[in-house]
Structure 1
Amino acid sequence: MNKKILITDDEPHIRMLLEQTLEDLEDYDVEFFLAENGEEALAIIEEERPALVLLDVMMPKMNGFEVCRIVKQDWALDDVFIIMLTAKGQEYDKEKGKEVGADMYITKPFNPDEIMAHAVRVLGIDMD
């Protein structure tokens, strides 16, 4: 089972927070990758094929919607589960996220327990 997670956000403190939120998963051989913009994220997705991508919407160089569209539509990587993270909770953004193929949409500030629960489920980890 692929146990790779890519955390993509242009805010260093958000990347760190997400990594800290999920660090217990390292005990289950989960590998983490970090990207600070969309171009970097795409390069890592192409090379590493993470099972889970936590993807910020508003980023320099290429936004999360564009990254998601390329991964889900152009590359047809259905095995990459994408959770869009955004400060915007507007319906428009959620609709756009669905359009480009996002598997889930979480609004910041997010609940760390919710992020962990989704990661455990997507990666098929039994923490009991």
Structure 2
Amino acid sequence: MANYHILLADDEAALRFLLTETLADEGYEITEAEDGQGALDYLQEKRFDLIILDYMMPERTGVEVCEWLRSHGNPNRDTPVILLTAKALEKDRERAKEAGVTQYIVKPFSPLQLLDTVEDLIGKSGS
């Protein structure tokens, strides 16, 4: 399998660790950011095959990062985005969709559920 690069931004270290382990076991290369600003810094420097953002993060939320991503020239403008969130309300989903989020995963979720979604999106982008 080609080495796909995934940016994972979440301020919860334990969850980040779990997801990184799960994805790395499948051969994905993970870059971790612990807040929205860190994610933005990476997104301007390097191209990723997939971006996983937590909704609630310090500095900038996942939705704000996604809005920036879709509206500014950067190497990841069209990269699929998975938003992880504890907010399951319809208005939050709408907001995420407007921001350009590709897929929405509500916490709590299993790492395997995330893996399925990752494989779907990376498989579809066919890069």
Q: How does 1:23-102 map to 2 (within 5 A)?
A: 23-26=24-27, 30-75=28-73, 77-78=77-78, 80-102=79-101
Coordinate RMSD, CA, aligned: 1.8
Q: Does the 8 Å contact 1:87/1:108 carry over to 2?
A: yes
Q: Does the 8 Å contact 1:2/1:123 carry over to 2?
A: no
Q: Distance in 1 between matches of 2:45 and 2:12?
A: 23
Structure 2: state its 5+ residue gaps. Answer: none
Deviation, 1:36, is 0.5
Q: Distance in 2 between matches of 1:69 and 1:75?
A: 12
Identity %: 40
Q: Distance in 1 between matches of 2:53 and 2:65?
A: 9
With over 3 angstroms needed to count, the CA separation of the structure-2 counterparts of 1:118 and 1:101, relative to structure 1, is same
SS of 2:6's partner is strand
Aligned residues between the structures:
121
Q: Does the 8 Å contact 1:9/1:36 carry over to 2?
A: yes
The aligned counterpart of 1:120 is 119
SS of 2:26's partner is helix
Deviation, 1:2, is 6.8
Q: Distance in 2 between matches of 1:113 and 1:51?
A: 19
SS of 2:32's partner is strand
Deviation, 1:119, is 1.6
Q: Does the 8 Å contact 2:62/2:83 carry over to 1?
A: yes
SS of 1:124's partner is helix
Normalized against structure 2, the TM-score is what?
0.87
SS of 1:70's partner is helix
Normalized against structure 1, the TM-score is what?
0.86
- Runs (4+) of structure 1 moved beyond 6 Å? none
Q: Does the 8 Å contact 1:10/1:60 carry over to 2?
A: yes
